[in-house]
Structure 1
Amino acid sequence: MGALVLPGAAALTAQPPTPLRVVYPRRLPVIDTFFEYDWAVLRTALARTVSRYGPFELKPSAEAMSSRRVTLELAMPKGVIDIFVRATSPDLEKQFQPIRIPVDKGLIGMRVLLVRKEDLPRFAAVRTLQDLRKFRVGQGKGWADNDILAAAGIPVVEGTYYEGLFAMLSARRFDFFSRSADEVMREYEERRVSVPEMALESTLLLHYPLPRYFFVRRDAAGDKLGQRVKAGLEMMIQDGSLNALFRQHKSPLLEKLALHKRRVIELSNPSLSPDTPLQRSELWLPPGSTRP
């Protein structure tokens, strides 16, 4: 006679589903707080999709990583990270799979200038792109927006490392340092003592379309993770939680910069992919706005 199986016994012995393990890059301490918003968005997107995709475990890498190390790790099939966030470029989109929803609503394309104090009157007189072409901009080597600025006819001076660019500004190697609206205040406050001749320009706002995307590997695991994150982001757009996180993390800084009072100078992005969702107005913050 066969063994008696009690109703529900199989369910009692079933193992819970294994959580999806997602590792994002721990960044160097000086810039780690800049990414807090991005990882809050990622965590919320994964949480929105638990009923469809199952549980997850999201955590940073064991070691802090430079931008170069981040790229190398995601390029390796068994690299220690599964996802990163960065301003897009043709090279990145070729190497990795972009999730085409701008995490920061295009904010990285809103640029505020760091200049020398003595040059503030010269920048206050700028009214057009033609006026701005008289000045040299400082950029890091290989940055995503170097080609945008060069295509606009603005002379680009490249530095080999980020921290050295502030010294190059002081040494008159270039005339302004173009920074995203959500990082410029922190950078200025952190260096106003060590670089006393540097000033935060208050009249201009450069703008160009430059989305920051989450990127995953171009393999089966990356496809699955990408589909889940995109589904979660779409849910956040629908329920308003993406805008709520933006207002919590970004809007206070933008309001301090009085973006709505600045003259906007528009630049085109000649390297932008035709797949960029520019037609979806709900994904983008209008230039000069502080709250979606």
Structure 2
Amino acid sequence: MTAALDASSTRFGPYLLRTATLGMERDRLLREMIKGELVNLSAQITSLEWERDLTPVRIPVDKGLAGYRISLIDGRRQAEFSAVRTLEHLKRIPLGAGRQWSSSTAFQRAGFSVVVGNTTAGLHSMLAAGRFPHFPRGMEEALYERDQYIHAFPALALEESFAIHMPLPRYFFVTPGQARLAERLEYGLHLLLADGRFDRIFHDFYDSVIEQTGLRKRRVFRLDNPTLSPQTPLGHKAYWYDPLE
């Protein structure tokens, strides 16, 4: 975000950036962003509701990496997951997901058995209690949450053999009526893409996560995402990361 704002300064002038101090669940954040008083800019995984009610800048800020989901499991059950070879087999294994999450809808529409919870902490308690066998998370979330929750659930582990991929872009969203801010971010991101800075920032931030999760060595089960807007820029290959290329 700051790189895009800096890159656009020649054309748009100086800016003032403040971070909101109030933590919010996703639904509350959407309501506050519509009003634009406490927060007017956020990077979030997209949904039709967010694209309808806010102004999206349709360039995936993480090159779609959030669409690669790594499961948290009871590590004693690794052999069960290592035996999974087909998407249909995987769909029969219940998974945990958040009630408000875009990925939950995509999993449900793809035919997965989804057990929903209200909070991340609650879902971890449900995983530890055996309410579902695996909890797909974004890669950096999986690493962070394994370390955060392993003290309460010592058997908690990253599943080692597969990743689930669905197109799931994370965009900058802007409060309605602030078109100049959205225009500025889009202009700045295009400058970063054109001169290679976008990719350098991406690799500086994510390469260690990609290595720690072993993404390039995993079987990847690919899903369509029927929840995406027709305006999703799936055809712009420079916008997306592919671990197999």
Normalising by the residue count of structure 2, what TM-score does the alignment of the two structures yield? Answer: 0.96
Aligned residue for 1:252? 208
Residues 259 and 288 of structure 1 are in contact (CA less than 8 Å); yes or no, is this contact kept in structure 2? no
* One-letter amino acid of the structure 1 residue matched with residue 180 of structure 2: K
SS in 2 for 1:61: coil
Residue 218 of structure 1 and its aligned partner are, at CA, apart by 2.0
Relative to structure 1, the CA distance from residue 130 to residue 66 in structure 2 (aligned partners, 3 Å threshold; closer, same or farther) is closer
* One-letter amino acid of the structure 2 residue matched with residue 193 of structure 1: H
Aligned-partner Cα distance in 2 for 1:119–1:288: 27
Select the residue among 177, 185, 189 that pairs with 2:143: 185
SS in 2 for 1:279: coil
Q: How does 1:236-275 map to 2 (within 5 A)?
A: 236-275=192-231
Aligned residue for 2:237? 281
Aligned residue for 1:113? 71
Residues 26 and 100 of structure 2 are in contact (CA less than 8 Å); yes or no, is this contact kept in structure 1? no
* One-letter amino acid of the structure 2 residue matched with residue 274 of structure 1: P
* One-letter amino acid of the structure 2 residue matched with residue 173 of structure 1: R
The structure with higher relative contact order (CA 8 Å, sep 6+) is: 2
Aligned-partner Cα distance in 1 for 2:129–2:161: 23
Aligned-partner Cα distance in 2 for 1:173–1:184: 18
Relative to structure 1, the CA distance from residue 154 to residue 66 in structure 2 (aligned partners, 3 Å threshold; closer, same or farther) is closer
Aligned residue for 1:199? 157
Residues 264 and 288 of structure 1 are in contact (CA less than 8 Å); yes or no, is this contact kept in structure 2? no
* One-letter amino acid of the structure 2 residue matched with residue 223 of structure 1: A
Q: Note if 1:122 corresponds to 2:77.
A: no
Normalising by the residue count of structure 1, what TM-score does the alignment of the two structures yield? Answer: 0.81
Relative to structure 1, the CA distance from residue 64 to residue 159 in structure 2 (aligned partners, 3 Å threshold; closer, same or farther) is closer
Residues 27 and 100 of structure 2 are in contact (CA less than 8 Å); yes or no, is this contact kept in structure 1? no
Aligned-partner Cα distance in 2 for 1:66–1:79: 17
1:37-83 alpha-carbon deviations (Å, 9 max, x no partner): xxxxx11101101111111111202434343332121111x512121
Gaps of 5+ in 1: 1-41
Aligned-partner Cα distance in 1 for 2:100–2:213: 27
Percent identity over the alignment? Answer: 36
After the TM superposition, which segments of 4 or more aligned residues of structure 1 sit over 4 Å from their partners?
none
Aligned residue for 1:163? 121
Residues 109 and 210 of structure 1 are in contact (CA less than 8 Å); yes or no, is this contact kept in structure 2? yes
Aligned-partner Cα distance in 2 for 1:72–1:288: 38
* Larger Rg computed on CA atoms: 1
Aligned residue for 1:72? 31
1:138-196 alpha-carbon deviations (Å, 9 max, x no partner): 01112101121112211000012210111101111111100011221111112222211
Aligned-partner Cα distance in 1 for 2:37–2:6: 24
Select the residue among 59, 62, 80 that pairs with 1:101: 59
Aligned length: 245
